[in-house]
Amino acid sequence: MGPDPKVNMNFNLTWIFQVDGNFTYLVRLHFCELQMKKINQRVFDIFINNQTAQAQADVIAWTSAKAVPTYKDYAAYVTDGAGDEQLWVALHPSAAAKPEYYDSVLNGLEIFKMNDSVGNLAGPNSEPSALLAEAELSTEQPSFASESSRKVHMIGGAAGGVAAASVALAICAVAYRRKKGMTGDEFGGGGAGWLPLYEIKKATKNFDESLVIGVGGFGKVYKGTVDGGTKVAIKRSNPSSEQGVNEFQTEIEMLSKLRHRHLVSLIGFCEENGEMILVYDYMAHGTLREHLYKSNKPPLPWKQRLEICIGAARGLHYLHTGAKYTIIHRDVKTTNILLDEHWVAKVSDFGLSKTGPMVNQSHVSTMVKGSFGYLDPEYFRRQQLTEKSDVYSFGVVLFEALCARAALNPSLPREQVSLADWALQCQKRGVLADIIDPQLEGRIGRECMHKFAETAEMCLLDHGVDRPSMGNVLWNLEFALQLQESFESGKPISEEVADKAAAVGNGVGLAALSEMSEDTDGQSTVAVFSQLINPVGR
């Protein structure tokens, strides 16, 4: 429709089709909201042959996200008489809903002429089927159990046995229009769905405290069960938390548009009755931190710690280079690295994330946010954020994995309180081996230890410009893993690989690594490493 809401309210958006009389027609309307992002921005009524087929239709309410296609089915009986052999489809802005924009949208339309049970397209119209008679006349809320928005609505008489009816006639009309001034989403398609509060309460037994599996800055995390046994993690906001609506919205906007093997997946969200709730895939092995210290869980072997660090590095590298814009996580730490049932690392908690600087910018000026012990000191001093701030935080994570101690421990002597400062001092004095996890003593190859410690040290350099990119960090960790495998197997790496590793060093280019990492997880590290140092287009 037009840009003037007053004009729009005085007219219908109408299509008229010539059809045969005395038949029931299935009218399928296709929708894909490409402009709006929130519920009640564009709401309209749907009329078929001057009867209300759908009141207050809201595409975003049906799909829970922008750019998600859906369709709605309606049945209409057309009588045979003067002036009745036409099928009208009309849309009109809904005044009752008081939407933000008084407008209507339709992306496609199909009309199916219904036959009878013996396939006769000229047979009389039968009684309505039970399926159609019981169909709801209004939209339902999406749920865990069903993500489909394909609902059938009844208008007038409908042909029997619609569930098994065949298509005899299809008439398609496409109506695609875009309004100027409404920008698209920064990160593209995809989307997590809105979930009703009653289903979340059911999944958590009304937020039973015995199901709490963690507590963070946003609030408590519950283990829930849906769809007859599927496990999920449900994060419920704490009203007194420092993290609030902004972090909640950022998490949804970021995670609902990003998909990567090493990023946690957001299933859905709920904002109802003052509650802010996020629902994720369940991570069976919890956080990386709880497998390093302050728990009674068995210590992880060094090779597994390396693989987890590599997985997290892949996730961060994807954020920095694989999305449409650079995304800076801003809160990289061991409690935000989750482990699934296969020990695959997933970066989580995007509530503090920021879009990185544009091409012509060197940084983003913003208030300092993050976790003490992991904060980039340059960002803290200058309030200038770059992706190298994530690199610094990840360097702390690397030393945490090596030393199995907290990033900050006030109970220790002053010079040892900060793990980053203490590890760097020990590294410079050549005594880093004295502070590593005692469980790893004698189990780390000397060359692997050297490469890993060197990588962590580079991440913690004072000036961001001197730190390696996340891609280079990932490359070095892959090499460290190969050195560890060589140590454990007793088989030296080939001279060719060693020479190339020495030649490439920290300057290797990894522009395509984020895409490649999805395809290489199932290969040996030798195969992966050979691809990293011999990049071949594919």
DSSP state of 493: P
DSSP codes joined into one string, 21-66: SSEEEEEEEEE--SS--STTSB-EEEEETTEEEEEEE-HHHHHSST
DSSP-derived 3-state class of residue 351 = coil
Q: Other C-beta atoms within 10 Å of 443: how many?
A: 14
DSSP state of 5: H
Q: Which of 326, 319, 390 is nearest to 358 (CA)?
A: 326
Q: Which long-range contacts (CB under 8 A, 24 or more apart) does 225-230 make?
A: 226/144, 226/145, 226/199, 227/144, 227/145
Sign of CA dihedral 279, 284, 289, 295: positive
Backbone φ/ψ region at 487: left (φ over 0), alpha (ψ -120 to 50), beta: alpha
Candidate list 331, 349, 376, 390, residue with the active-site label: 331
Q: Where are the alpha helices (DSSP H) in 404-524?
A: 419-429, 446-459, 470-489, 495-504, 513-520
Beta-sheet strand order (sheet of 70-78):
108-113, 23-31, 70-78, 152-154
DSSP-derived 3-state class of residue 177 = coil
Contact 402, 453 (CB under 8 A): yes
Contact 467, 406 (CB under 8 A): no
Chain centroid to CA 225: 20
Q: Which of 134, 137, 130, 128 is nearest to 159 (CA)?
A: 128
Q: Other C-beta atoms within 10 Å of 202: how many?
A: 14
| 331 among known catalytic residues | yes
Give the helix/strand (H/E) hosting 130.
helix 130-134
Question: Is position 257 annotated in a ligand binding site?
Answer: no
Annotated binding-site positions? 235
- Annotated binding-site residues for ATP read 235
Active-site residue list: 331
